[in-house]
Amino acid sequence: MNNRKMKIVLQIQIGIFLFVMFFLSLPAASQNNKKEQAKNGKQMVLFDGTSTNAWKDIKSDKFPEQGWVVKDGILTVLPKTDKQEGGHDIVTREQFSDFELELEVRLSEGANSGVKYMVTDSYPGKKGQYLGLEYQLIDNDKHADALLGRNGNRKMATLYDILPVREGININPPGEWNEIKIVVKNNKVEHWLNGKKAVVYERKSDCFRELVRLSKYNELENFGEQEQGHILLQGHGNEVSFRNIRITVW
C-alpha cells in the first residue's frame, strides 16, 4: 500500500474513532447535565417586578387589593396610619421543603417586619393563623422590639426570638437595600445578610428544641419542624419594600 493510500486509511480510522468517542460521550454528558440540574435545583421567580401571581392574602385566595403596591419593580407593604389600615401578611401559594430563598429588602425608618418560612396555618389551637420560623427584619436603632428577647435574638437577621446573629454582620441602614438569603436543606438552616452568614442552626436538633422551649413559641407543638411550608412576607404596620424575590428548590 503506497503512502497516499495509507494516509487516507489513517484519516478514515481517526474519523471513525472520533465519531465513536463523541457518540459514547453523549450519555455521560446527559447524565452530568442531570446531576448539575439536581445540584442547582429548580429556580422560580416569586416576584419579577410586576406579577404577584405567586402570592395570596392570608385571609383569602387572592392577592390583597389594598395595603400592598407594586411600583417601579418594587413590592411594598404600606404602613398603618390614621387614614389607612396598612398591609397585612401575604404568603406564597406553593409550599417548599429544601430551598434557597433570595431577595432584597428596604426598611423604612423604625420599621419592623419579617420573612417567615416553613409557615403553616395548622398548629393545634392556632388554626387559620399562619405561623413559622422568622428571619427578623427590623431597624435595630429605632424599634423597641430589637431590645427585647434574649441576647439580641430579636435584632436584624436573627431567627426571631430564638437565635441571635453572629458578630461582624453588615447591616445597611433604613432607606437602603439589604440582600437577604435563607437556605434550608436537610434540616440545616442558614440566614445570610449582605453576603455574610448570620445564623446557622439545625431544625429538629436537641439544641433547637431547647431554644424553642425558651421562646415565645414554646406552646406550639413541634414548632418549625414540619416537612414543608409557605414563605410569608409580614405586614406589621410599617412600610417595607421587597424586590428580586427568587427561590431555588431541590
State the average pLDDT for the chain.
89
Residue 44 or 36, more confident: 44
What confidence tens digit (pLDDT) does each residue in 144-184 have? 999 999 999 999 999 999 999 999 999 999 999 999 999 99
Q: By C-alpha distance, which of 145, 71, 124 is closest to 134? A: 145
* Bridge partners of residue 56, in order along the sequence: 91
With pLDDT > 90 as the criterion, what percentage of the chain qualifies?
79
pLDDT for 125 equals 87
Topology of domain 41-249 in CATH is Jelly Rolls (2.60.120)
| pLDDT, mean of residues 214-243 | 96
Listed by start position, the domains of the chain span 1-40, 41-249
What pLDDT score was predicted for residue 5? Answer: 58
Range in 82-96, 98-112, 154-168 with the lowest mean pLDDT: 82-96
Cα 22-26-27 angle, rounded to 5 deg: 140
